[in-house]
Amino acid sequence: MTEEQDLAALSFKAAAHDLELIVRHIAARYIRQRVPLTWRLLHAIEAEALADLGFASRHDAGMRQLFERPSDMTFPETDDPIDFGRSNALPAVFSFAVLAYEAAANAHDTARPARPHRQSKAWGD
């Protein structure tokens, strides 16, 4: 790879990481409120993430366009729960949001149950 290609790859990687953090932050607001991930919410998260002013200021327009969903890649805009079936071709923002919800679900499932309160005793009592 040429130096120019190396720089482009690094720029893409930085933008992808930046966008993932933005999406996770947005998704976390909904996760804390226990809002289920629906198609409509997924579209809202995508719109907010791609419109993020910080993201726009840190990455040039050409780089940002790489993360926009192609116009021919349509998804429902309903309040139904998301279901990608066997699809592995997801827009980046959709993928990051789904991963955030899955991580939250896994963290909730593996959280240790609270230990019952035991009365403390002094030594020798």
Reply yes or no on whether the pLDDT at 75 is more than 70: yes
Please state the pTM of the whole predicted model: 0.82
Percent of the chain as helix, strand, coil, to the nearest 5: 60, 0, 40
Nearest CA to 100 among 41, 54, 57?
41
- Is there a contact between 96 and 46 (Cβ–Cβ < 8 Å)? no
SS3 38: strand
pLDDT band at 90 (very low <50, low <70, confident <90, very high): confident
Q: What is the pLDDT of residues 12-62, one digit of tens each?
A: 999 999 999 999 999 999 999 999 999 999 999 999 999 999 999 999 999
Would you state the structure tokens that stand for residue 74, as one six-digit string?
């349509």
Q: Which residue has the tokens 């790879």?
A: 1
Q: Parse the chain into domains and list their residue ranges.
A: 26-69
User: DSSP string of 50-77?
Assistant: HT-HHHHHHS-HHHHHTTSPPTT-----
pLDDT band at 8 (very low <50, low <70, confident <90, very high): very high
| Alpha-carbon span 101 to 78, nearest angstrom | 18
| Alpha-carbon span 70 to 43, nearest angstrom | 13
Q: What is the pLDDT of residues 104-115, one digit of tens each?
A: 999 877 765 555
| Alpha-carbon span 80 to 109, nearest angstrom | 23
Identify the pLDDT of residue 123.
55
Identify the pLDDT of residue 27.
98
